[in-house]
Amino acid sequence: MLDADVVKSFATALAIGALIGLEREKHKADEQDASAPGLRTFIMVALVGAIGGWLAKSTDSPSFMVASLLAVAAAVVAAYVMGGRMKVDDLGITTEIAALAVCLLAGLTTLGHRDLAIMLAVVAGAVLAYKRSLHGMVEKIGWDDVFAGLRLALATFVILPLLPSDAIDPWGALKPYSLWLLVILISSLSLIGYVATIWLGNQRGTAVTGLAGGLVSSTAVTLSFSRQSRDETSRIPDLALASGILLAWAIMFVRVVIEVLVVNAPLVPRLLVPFSAMAVASAAVAWLYYMRAGKPEDEGGATREVPLKNPFSLTAAAKFGAFFAVVLLVVKLVQNYFPGEGFYVVAALAGLTDVDAITLSMAEYAKTGDPDIAITAIVIAALANTLVKAAVVFMLGAEGLRRKVLGGTGAIIVAGGCAVLLV
């Protein structure tokens, strides 16, 4: 009788071949290259790899899998050479490498790693399908962005392992390894937002700019849109600019929850109430303004680029690390000598400049301290940071923008305050 698990593995292998083959068939049609491998070829390559993996597992001899891979490789090389002779200007090897990958992925399915093969096949299919998008994003990335990525890798894989994990201060607050790890977390979140901004572009309207820019810096979005509201050559309605600002603030509240999730996941369910309330209030007012304003592009205006630079540098990371260390130390001293409401004062002061440091500090504190105090302190920091950004709008923005942002700020404060009382 047939083994159902073996049949399922072979079916998965053929599905992988069909998935990649379908994408290559579509590419083949677009390029009008009848000689390129397509759907049927990739299904057969997957079948060869699956049989090789099954024989290798059944006989406990990896030579069958190696032989299958070599056979596919030989066929791929032969096809590449022949294709290269006929089309000298088109010597890309993406399809050939994809065929080798399908052979190996098919072999993984019958070797007992079916789930891993499926995951990798989906990733490979996405990479092939989104060729134009990936190339377009790479074109927008400058050398400064490449160097920033390398510096982040240096900070993560070289500096981090060298740091001691034990506390270096008498109060046990400063642990260099944990401190730097959280710095990398914040830098990584900002870098993800920066890449999203590059991917989406800067001419997609205030709503998308606010959403993507808020992942990098809601303060930068606030500054940019406030200044733009005073520009007489700009035809973006104040309602649309206010919508973008409030959307960036809403993303900031979501970002805080993500940070707490990484540091102290058990705290998240209780933190969700106030921060969901503030995020929803901010997003709701933003949506109301956006609907009243209509699409900015329809008004003849164009949203200018928010001046966001790559958020990671070793200098900036070191400065944030130093500030974070000070906040951690102050929180520890308050815990020892001024417990209770003293945390709220620290949170309010820290939130004036940066909400991330106090968020991470209070999330750490909640592991051994009072969760209620931690949640309230994080909310206070977020509200203080929101008030600072509202003050930026009042100092730099036009009169119409001020009134609209004031309405959104009031909704956020009321929602956050009521939610804290209910927690």
CA atoms within 13 A on the CB side of 284: 12
Residue 241 is predicted with a pLDDT of 84
Residue 248 has pLDDT above 70, yes or no: yes
Q: Looking at the structure, do residues 105 and 166 belong to the same domain, yes or no?
A: no
Q: Looking at the structure, do residues 193 and 111 belong to the same domain, yes or no?
A: no
Q: What is the 3-state secondary structure (H, E, C) of 52-117?
A: HHHHHHHHCCCHHHHHHHHHHHHHHHHHHHHHHHHCCCCCCCHHHHHHHHHHHHHHHHHCCCHHHH
**Which residues does 163 contact at the CB level (< 8 Å), separation at least 6?**
176, 177, 180
Total tally of structural domains belonging to the chain: 2
Q: Name the band, by pLDDT with cuts 50, 70 and 90, for residue 188.
A: confident
From 92, 108, 129, the end of a domain falls on: 129
Average pLDDT over residues 329-354: 78
Residue 409 is predicted with a pLDDT of 92
Q: Using only the alpha carbons of the chain, give its radius of gyration.
A: 27
Of the ranges 125-139, 189-203, 207-221, 275-289, the best mean pLDDT one: 275-289
Percent of the chain with pLDDT over 70: 80
Selection from 324, 323, 354, 413 nearest residue 219 by Cα: 354
Could you list the residue range(s) of the whole structural domain that residue 80 is in?
Answer: 4-129
Residue 88 is predicted with a pLDDT of 46
Residue 17 has pLDDT above 50, yes or no: yes
Q: Name the band, by pLDDT with cuts 50, 70 and 90, for residue 257.
A: very high
DSSP label at residue 341: T
Q: Give the rounded distance of the alpha carbon of 73 from its chain centre.
A: 36
Selection from 39, 43, 15 nearest residue 27 by Cα: 39
Q: In 3-state terms, what secondary structure has residue 264?
A: coil
pLDDT 10s digits, 79-107:
777 665 445 445 457 788 888 899 999 99
* Termini Cα distance of the chain: 60
Q: Is residue 346 part of a domain?
A: yes
Alpha-carbon gap, residue 39 to 47, rounded angstroms = 13
Q: Looking at the structure, do residues 27 and 109 belong to the same domain, yes or no?
A: yes
Is the separation of the CB atoms in 284 and 411 below 8 Å?
A: yes
Alpha-carbon gap, residue 165 to 391, rounded angstroms = 40
Q: Looking at the structure, do residues 13 and 144 belong to the same domain, yes or no?
A: no
Average pLDDT over residues 385-393: 90
Residue 306 is predicted with a pLDDT of 53
Q: What is the 3-state secondary structure (H, E, C) of 297-323?
A: HHHCCCCCCCCCCCCCCHHHHHHHHHH
Q: Name the band, by pLDDT with cuts 50, 70 and 90, for residue 203.
A: very low
> For the ranges 72-86, 195-209, 253-267, which has the lowest average pLDDT?
195-209
> For the ranges 83-97, 327-341, 376-390, which has the lowest average pLDDT?
83-97
Residue 340 is predicted with a pLDDT of 65
Q: What is the mean pLDDT of the chain?
A: 80
Helix (H) or strand (E) holding 331: helix 314-337
Average pLDDT over residues 247-270: 90
Q: Looking at the structure, do residues 226 and 199 belong to the same domain, yes or no?
A: yes
Q: Looking at the structure, do residues 156 and 291 belong to the same domain, yes or no?
A: yes
Residue 253 is predicted with a pLDDT of 93
> For the ranges 110-114, 192-196, 299-303, which has the lowest average pLDDT?
299-303
How many of the other CB atoms lie within 10 Å of CB of 59?
10
Q: Looking at the structure, do residues 111 and 178 belong to the same domain, yes or no?
A: no
Q: Is residue 105 part of a domain?
A: yes
Q: Is residue 135 part of a domain?
A: no
DSSP label at residue 235: -
Q: Is residue 14 part of a domain?
A: yes
Is the separation of the CB atoms in 99 and 37 below 8 Å?
A: yes
Tokens of 365: 């504190």
Is the separation of the CB atoms in 362 and 374 below 8 Å?
A: yes
Residue 261 is predicted with a pLDDT of 92
Q: Tell me the helix, strand and coil percentages in the chain, rounded to 5.
A: 80, 0, 20
Is the separation of the CB atoms in 197 and 213 below 8 Å?
A: yes
From 88, 103, 129, the end of a domain falls on: 129
pLDDT 10s digits, 272-325:
989 999 999 999 999 998 888 765 444 444 555 555 555 566 676 777 778 778
The interaxial angle of helices 314-337 and 176-200, nearest 10 deg, is 130
Q: Name the band, by pLDDT with cuts 50, 70 and 90, for residue 128.
A: confident
Alpha-carbon gap, residue 414 to 374, rounded angstroms = 19
Q: Looking at the structure, do residues 114 and 151 belong to the same domain, yes or no?
A: no
Average pLDDT over residues 124-135: 81
Average pLDDT over residues 199-226: 69
Residue 13 has pLDDT above 70, yes or no: yes
Is the separation of the CB atoms in 283 and 243 below 8 Å?
A: no
Residue 205 is predicted with a pLDDT of 57
Q: Looking at the structure, do residues 372 and 415 belong to the same domain, yes or no?
A: yes
Q: Looking at the structure, do residues 158 and 253 belong to the same domain, yes or no?
A: yes
Q: Is residue 233 part of a domain?
A: yes
Q: Name the band, by pLDDT with cuts 50, 70 and 90, for residue 199.
A: low
Q: Looking at the structure, do residues 42 and 170 belong to the same domain, yes or no?
A: no
Quote the pTM value. Answer: 0.61
Q: Looking at the structure, do residues 120 and 151 belong to the same domain, yes or no?
A: no
Helix (H) or strand (E) holding 260: helix 238-263
Of the ranges 113-117, 133-137, 240-244, 340-344, the best mean pLDDT one: 113-117
Residue 370 is predicted with a pLDDT of 86
